Chain A
């Protein structure tokens, strides 16, 4: 538990009549704690966002992801979120950069934190193919940065107006951030209670692919090391929070996590995220660790309001907010346990659920268009519509496949094919299984809708987990696997390339 210096108010109230549990909860939530660890968190968070924005702003990534694609794959319900026209996205990332700097310095903090949340969420919602659990976490943290006045401590706002400075924040703010990070570790661990993961895939394939790394490479190629990684990863995720909270194991667990994140950084280049997580994890240390480590004296002792145990209306609102927020965060990731088959296969509940590193899904998709009016049939070339990254992401997710098919149908409707039927032959190999059909090839996807409900045209996963991972190049799949499917003849005139040339 948190080691706060016991406040006078807390002592007073405990010396009186015994407190009800409601009063104890109230005191626990609104007790003041040193805010320096939250301030350090704010700085690291702001710097990470600024670095991300600047990196994107100055490299061709920005144009490739947000300006050049002709079509965006969006989140269900957020199809209306569009990128800015022209060079607007450059300005957008510049705003995000400045918001990150402002957040880090605590300069015009309210405005900076709000702009950070809005502009980052906008970028996030534009393109679902770029979904990443880290980005989702950043949005949640940015939201919390708007709820919590993280600029009350060391900040330029406090320098500008010293009366605004305060060395403390109520305890619930600290625990809210801890909870948010704890959720990531804990659900990340729960998700690894997955049959494939515990049997060593996809970790085994990934490690084998990294066998050319210097020094550690030969070790990774050895199959015996795979269980260490997969069981170890599971245990680290699951035990991170309790062991970080217990004083005796805290430093050891933190060291393990630093190594864990650095190893992730080396093995699976995932950019800034490991570094952010390392600094963010420091939030589990006693809240005054920066003061103690850097020996920064505090001229202002912590002050508690006198009635720490009474639920004022304001506190009731805070309590309600916490209950709702915690509830949502706890329940949303659990939706994948609605009985709809393997989430790695169907992708139901895959997003916003901290399912990290759980699947290696190789896919090959072909789109067949049929114009019922003329009887014309043909294969639709998707390369003019999607970037490689979008295509790769789309082809493994049934929801995105149907989303794309509907956009394709719209496209042809505007070009004089009112009722184009689109069927797909989508083959997928999950975690080293033999490839099988992902989508029912007889269903016209142009007539299907995106939905949170079950989609009957998703084929169940029937291939068994293999002892040796299937390892054939995708262009050989059709030759090696016999799929009883009437191959539509390719007819000229329906390839998209011709239609799309401007």
Chain B
């Protein structure tokens, strides 16, 4: 006995979301993602970044609530990255996929959580994608698992799987576009600062900082972010959108050193093509579209849909928290991470740290570069939360070495997107005494609105 609203629900969801669609594009995505994740880990190993990033710094910065995540002792981190390479290869060829995909996702998330000072939106995206891949069955074709157990083979996959990946890949574009809707970006200030920063560009040369070029890239970037996903999905605009995406990511690769990310995104863009594109490319007869064999919304399907809906809702709502904080996230850094706020700020700061031992009254400067590696120092100078963590670290270390309670005061002159420098942190507040919290920090001074379009 199924009552009336239940039937409506069935009709609304089950047929469409669980209709089989060709698995091909997700399989290609799986193969490609595995290769890129593996290459990224190899690159990290080769560059010797494990030691400099995780083992040598006396302190690592933590994400709120994840202070308990620490690097493995001894050679553990090397073993971890080697294991990641192997797991990525297994995901790519679809070997023991159920286990290796989950392990890969967990291993990547673990690395991601180790150090907040290396936060990058693309690392976050890789973690999310690896999580989704672990949840869907894209190993049921073109995999060693199928070779081992042919019964597992399927040339289709429920539609929600495809759209979940599409949703995830689309998210950075759309939110990236929304985040650009601010005065700094729209006035061309931000883009100008990027081009000025990096000096000479080949081909365009000094033309890069001329007004028309800056405005072209400013509004081109904005339109691209907002429009690329719909244009990729619509057949008539697909080729143009693809060429634009290719050029856009190549530019990024050239202008900003962000490793494999541009290449990953170029490959990931193929998820917006018709799901049977690999079949068309390989000239294999295409599968006729069909409806879901069973139209009932079973309990298991309901759970699946509910989980997916919750995930989508979180992904949609979480970045919006940037609008709940007072002030500009570019300035306060509150709500900046996990919000797809990319390429939005050129933030330069001069940092002075003064520490006072409240028992002896002795005072002295504590330059962060004496404690941290250059990358940590660079990110610290932009992020009040990292300054707070560093203050706590100093106080803790001082007490461990037998000193009294330490007060830590910050004098941070910070210039955002070409504005005249102003104080970022209230210099009269002892940050060592401030707790970490997700609430807006009262000790971050507001950005004076006066000089938005100040002399560049």
Contact = CB atoms under 8 A, between A and B. Distances in A.
A338 to B, nearest CB: 45
Contacts of A167: 283
B278 to A, nearest CB: 10
A87 B283 contact: no
Nearest to A58: B254
| Secondary structure of the B contact surface, majority rule | loop
B283 A91 contact: no
Nearest to A155: B281
Contacts of A62: 202
A90 B283 contact: no
Interface string A296-317: 1101100000000000000000
A329 to B, nearest CB: 33
Contacts of A87: 202-203, 205
Given A87-B202, A87-B205, A297 B284 contact: yes
The 8 A-B residue pairs with the shortest CB-CB distance, nearest first, are A90-B202, A90-B203, A87-B203, A87-B202, A296-B282, A165-B283, A154-B282, A299-B285
6 contacts: A154-B281, A154-B283, A159-B280, A162-B283, A167-B283, A300-B283
A472 to B, nearest CB: 35
A-side interface size class? 20 to 34
A296 B253 contact: no
A294 interface: yes
B284 A299 contact: yes
Given A57-B254, A58-B254, A90-B202, 6 more contacts: A87-B203, A158-B283, A162-B283, A299-B284, A299-B285, A300-B283
Nearest to A291: B282
B173 interface: no
A296 B202 contact: no
| Secondary structure of the A contact surface, majority rule | helix
Given A154-B282, A299-B284, A300-B283, A294 B203 contact: no
B142 interface: yes
Interface string B197-227: 0000011010000000000000000000000
Interface in B161-210: 202-203, 205
Interface string B243-284: 000000000011000000000000000000000000011111
A63 B200 CA distance: 13
B213 to A, nearest CB: 15
Given A58-B254, A90-B202, A159-B280, A294 B285 contact: no
Interface residues of B, number: 12
A297 B142 CA distance: 13
B267 to A, nearest CB: 12
Interface in B278-306: 280-285
Nearest to A166: B283
A368 B285 CA distance: 74
B28 to A, nearest CB: 12
A90 B284 CA distance: 40
Contacts of B142: 294
A456 B14 CA distance: 88
Nearest to B257: A58
B281 A296 contact: no
Interface in A136-190: 154, 156, 158-159, 162, 165, 167
Interface string B93-109: 00000000000000000
Interface string B398-427: 000000000000000000000000000000
A211 B274 CA distance: 54
Given A58-B253, A58-B254, A159 B281 contact: yes
Nearest to A86: B205
* Candidate in B142, B202, B280, B284 with the most chain A CB atoms within 10 angstroms: B202
Contacts of B283: 154, 158, 162, 165, 167, 299-300
Nearest to B263: A54
A300 B285 CA distance: 10
Interface string B108-145: 00000000000000000000000000000000001000
* Candidate in B142, B203, B284 with the most chain A CB atoms within 10 angstroms: B203
Interface in A207-254: none
Nearest to B141: A295
Contacts of A297: 284-285
Contacts of A299: 283-285
Contacts of B284: 296-297, 299
B265 to A, nearest CB: 16
A40 to B, nearest CB: 12
A296 B285 CA distance: 10
Interface in A307-351: none
Nearest to A299: B285
Contacts of B203: 87, 90-91, 94
B245 to A, nearest CB: 13
Nearest to B146: A295
A90 B281 CA distance: 32
A70 B306 CA distance: 68
Contacts of B281: 154, 156, 159
B153 to A, nearest CB: 10
Nearest to A297: B284
Contacts of A154: 281-283
B315 to A, nearest CB: 32
A67 to B, nearest CB: 9
A62 B283 CA distance: 40
Contacts of A57: 254
Nearest to A97: B250
A344 B438 CA distance: 71
B453 to A, nearest CB: 32
Nearest to B142: A294
Nearest to B147: A295
A154 B281 CA distance: 6
* Candidate in A167, A294, A296 with the most chain B CB atoms within 10 angstroms: A296
A159 to B, nearest CB: 6
Contacts of A300: 283
* Candidate in A63, A90, A162, A167 with the most chain B CB atoms within 10 angstroms: A90
Contacts of B253: 58
Contacts of B254: 57-58
A255 to B, nearest CB: 18
A457 B284 CA distance: 66
A58 B203 CA distance: 12
A167 B205 CA distance: 47
Contacts of A94: 203
A294 B203 CA distance: 43
B422 to A, nearest CB: 36
A94 B285 CA distance: 36
A231 to B, nearest CB: 32
A421 to B, nearest CB: 41
Contacts of B282: 154, 296
A90 B201 CA distance: 10
Nearest to B277: A159
A297 B282 CA distance: 9
A162 B280 CA distance: 9
A162 B282 CA distance: 11
A297 to B, nearest CB: 6
Contacts of A162: 283
B263 to A, nearest CB: 10
B126 to A, nearest CB: 21
A94 B254 CA distance: 12
Interface in A48-102: 57-58, 62-63, 87, 90-91, 94
B249 to A, nearest CB: 12
Nearest to A162: B283
Contacts of A156: 281
Nearest to A158: B283
Nearest to B285: A299
